[in-house]
């Protein structure tokens, strides 16, 4: 695992302040960021095995995927747990590592949640590990640095720029260490979650509607899918006049809106942040999360702060790629293709063809080995079949029965 242990102490003080106790910022560990499918990942050691984990400040807890559990030889404890995320919920279980090392954190006989999912990768590094210390996130230079401060009180700790702006930052609630801040959109105040695991920034539909941004509003266009551990939900692009964070103001930009929480969050949705600031926003800024001070320091680095989303041509290319991989028996691509065809994203809407791919995925050995995903597939195929006419259902089943994977 590539990493650097740093004993560097940064002294931050004026001449007069240094006569007293100086504010010290100690770099505990710096980890390189690598990208997998355009998402930032960090390395962690589990039972001496190097796993690559999605760096996801929008995830409450760190969790592993079955592929990571198997690779590291972790002990599995099966439970009746359920994990909730964008797109729905999936079954979870406990995985125990005899030894675990993530950044400056070390432990023995550590329990991690593991989830059944169709997402690629070996796991997710969430807020419970990322924010155990103050944390600098510098996506533009592909690194994160874990920090510890001494004698700083409310002195600025943005060591690269003593005058860097900052805003108040708070834990989402209770033991949930994810960080939220306040922003303004078109002059109205909203809470925002900093989410490095989301490629694009998104406003939740409930909040978006309060300023007139709705899926059926003039100028709003279907833009693709927002994907989470439970599946995918449609997202739309919409125009906003102003976005403000602290003294930074951006005008006339396009941003995504989507139902981030849905029925799986119906009991807590009112307490969840109104939007997520994703990797697009974080790429455009140098950030320092200081839970010790309750602040987020930020420096604008240039470029777009919001990714407007894929064009129609890019969506069409994505559908074509999914189709090619699905024909080679890739079940995750079958599921993605079925959703795109159901919604008419990147291709003509075709529910019969979408149902065909769900039925094929449902019978796959891959789905059989991912019980939680199989249940979601079964629910989706049953719901879609119920929407089709008798002849359409027969046609979908006929196509599924006749299909064979490309060699």
CB-facing half-sphere around the CA of 33: CA atoms within 13 A: 23
With contact defined as beta carbons under 8 Å apart, do 170 and 179 qualify?
yes
For the beta carbon of residue 236, count every other beta carbon within 10 angstroms: 23
For residues 190-215, give the mean pLDDT: 93
pLDDT digits (tens, 9 = 90+) for 221-257: 877 666 655 556 788 889 999 999 999 999 999 999 9
pLDDT of 353 above 60: yes
d(CA 302, CA 299): 9
pLDDT digits (tens, 9 = 90+) for 257-282: 998 876 554 555 567 899 999 999 99
Element of type H or E holding 172? strand 170-173
Element of type H or E holding 322? helix 312-327
d(CA 127, CA 2): 21
pLDDT of 46 above 60: yes
Only one residue has tokens 């259902």, namely 393
For the beta carbon of residue 405, count every other beta carbon within 10 angstroms: 11
Q: How far is CA 326 from CA 121, 255, 281, 345, 404, in A?
A: 18, 30, 32, 16, 11
Element of type H or E holding 300? strand 295-300
For residues 138-142, give the mean pLDDT: 94
383 DSSP 8-state letter? H
pLDDT of 12 above 90: no
d(CA 400, CA 376): 18
Q: Which of 47-51, 136-140, 321-325, 365-369 has the lowest mean pLDDT?
A: 365-369
315: left (phi over 0), alpha (psi -120 to 50) or beta: alpha
Based on its alpha-carbon atoms, the radius of gyration of the chain, rounded to whole angstroms, reads 23
pLDDT of 310 above 60: yes
For residues 33-52, give the mean pLDDT: 89
pLDDT band at 106 (very low <50, low <70, confident <90, very high): very high
d(CA 131, CA 331): 35
Q: Which is it for strands 49-55 and 123-125: parallel, antiparallel or unpaired?
A: parallel
For residues 354-365, give the mean pLDDT: 93
CB proximity list for 343: less than 8 A, separation 6 or greater: 222, 225, 234, 349
pLDDT band at 309 (very low <50, low <70, confident <90, very high): low
73: left (phi over 0), alpha (psi -120 to 50) or beta: left
pLDDT band at 14 (very low <50, low <70, confident <90, very high): very low
Compute the mean pLDDT over every residue in the chain, rounded to the nearest whole number: 86
Return the closest-CA partner of residue 26 out of 4, 13, 5, 10: 10
pLDDT of 338 above 70: yes
pTM for the whole structure = 0.75
**Partners of 189 in beta bridges:** 184
For the beta carbon of residue 293, count every other beta carbon within 10 angstroms: 20
d(CA 42, CA 27): 17
pLDDT band at 369 (very low <50, low <70, confident <90, very high): confident
pLDDT at 222: 78
For the chain, count helices (H), then strands (E).
Answer: 10, 24
């Amino acid at each position: 695992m590539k990493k650097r242990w740093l004993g560097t102490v940064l002294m931050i003080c004026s001449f007069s302040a240094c006569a007293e106790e100086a504010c010290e910022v100690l770099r505990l560990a710096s980890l390189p960021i690598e990208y997998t499918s355009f998402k930032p990942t960090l390395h962690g050691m589990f039972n001496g095995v190097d796993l690559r984990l999605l760096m996801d400040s929008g995830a409450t807890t760190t969790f592993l995927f079955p592929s990571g559990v198997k690779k590291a030889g972790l002990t599995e404890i099966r439970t009746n747990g359920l994990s909730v995320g964008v797109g729905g919920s999936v079954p979870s279980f406990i995985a125990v590592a005899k030894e675990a090392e993530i950044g400056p954190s070390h432990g023995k006989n550590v329990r991690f949640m593991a989830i059944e999912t169709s997402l690629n990768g070996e796991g997710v590094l969430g807020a419970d590990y990322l924010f155990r210390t103050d944390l600098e996130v510098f996506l533009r230079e592909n690194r994160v640095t874990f920090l510890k401060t001494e004698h700083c009180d409310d002195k600025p700790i943005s060591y690269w720029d003593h005058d860097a702006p900052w805003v108040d930052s708070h834990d989402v609630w209770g033991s949930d260490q994810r960080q939220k801040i306040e922003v303004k959109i078109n002059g109205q105040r909203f809470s925002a979650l900093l989410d490095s695991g989301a490629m694009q920034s998104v406003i939740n539909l409930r909040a978006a509607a309060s300023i007139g941004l709705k899926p059926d509003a003039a100028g709003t266009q279907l833009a693709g899918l927002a994907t989470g551990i439970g599946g995918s939900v449609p997202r739309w692009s919409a125009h906003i006049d102003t976005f403000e964070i602290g003294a930074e103001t951006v005008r006339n930009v396009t941003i995504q809106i989507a139902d981030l929480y849905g029925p799986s969050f119906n009991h807590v949705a009112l307490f969840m942040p109104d939007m997520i600031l994703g990797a697009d926003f974080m790429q455009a800024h140098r950030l320092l999360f200081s839970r010790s001070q309750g602040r987020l320091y930020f420096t604008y680095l240039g470029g777009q702060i919001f990714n407007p989303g894929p064009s129609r041509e890019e969506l069409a290319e994505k559908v074509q790629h999914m189709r090619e991989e699905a024909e080679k028996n890739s079940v995750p691509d079958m599921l993605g293709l079925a959703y795109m065809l159901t919604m008419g994203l990147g291709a003509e809407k075709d529910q019969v063809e979408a149902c065909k791919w769900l039925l094929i995925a449902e019978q796959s050995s891959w789905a059989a080995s991912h019980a939680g995903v199989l249940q979601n597939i079964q629910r989706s195929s049953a719901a879609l079949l119920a929407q089709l006419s008798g002849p359409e259902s027969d046609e979908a089943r006929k196509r599924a029965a006749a299909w064979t994977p490309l060699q």
